Amino acid sequence: MDKIIGEFTLKSDKIRVTDPTYEKINDKNFCGKVFNCKKGIWVAQITKSITPFSNGLIERITLYNKDYNEQKNNDIFDDFKRMYEEDFRIFCTSGQVGFFDENNYPEQITDDFTYKCLEATKLSVERKSLERADIIDGTGLVCWAGFGLKYGPMLYKCISIRNETCEAIRIFVDFITDEIEDMFIKRK
């Protein structure tokens, strides 16, 4: 079940993928950057799980460059040929993962930024709503990371798809995979 969350403008050519409670200084330990991203309007889309165990949770978050998507010829095999696993993992301890224009991510996390992230996922209002995602100030996205707070910290892979000139035009993170779901079912 796919749902478009909104759009944000990428002015730099880097998208920071991180738990939004981490400062830039933690760059190498907990998060990373996708380099050489196509500038312009990016669309954020979530896919919710429909399996019995994780029904309704965010299974995948996808960001894509709007210009590329509108001219794409729907050749899925073409995407697979240009799919790259980024060289970092997202360590998620707060239950949230964010995707931000690198130029707009704060050097130090402020109460105001934390509040915006919490509000975007409704953590401060509805602790049971594990399916929320929203655009923050038109410069990034914050969403619940699959099982997030329900089962504790997790590490996630970030995948990019690049165009002919090696610009990232699509980025996604799978929060719930068969392997992860099987692991949690065994814990029960």
Q: How far is it, in rounded angstroms, from Cα 188 to Cα 178?
A: 16
Q: What pLDDT is stored for residue 22 in this prediction?
A: 83
Structure tokens at 97: 């993962």
Residue ranges, the chain, pLDDT below 70: 26-29, 53-55, 70-81, 122-131, 146-153, 178, 180-188
The ranges assigned to domains in the chain are 2-187
| Count of C-beta atoms within a 10 Å radius of residue 157 | 13
Q: What pLDDT is stored for residue 77 in this prediction?
A: 47
- Residues in CB range of 158: below 8 A, 6 or more apart: 17, 32, 34, 85, 86, 88, 89, 90, 171, 172, 173
Q: What pLDDT is stored for residue 113 in this prediction?
A: 84
Q: What pLDDT is stored for residue 26 in this prediction?
A: 63
* pLDDT tens profile 7-23: 999 999 999 998 888 88
Q: What pLDDT is stored for residue 89 in this prediction?
A: 87
Q: What pLDDT is stored for residue 81 in this prediction?
A: 64
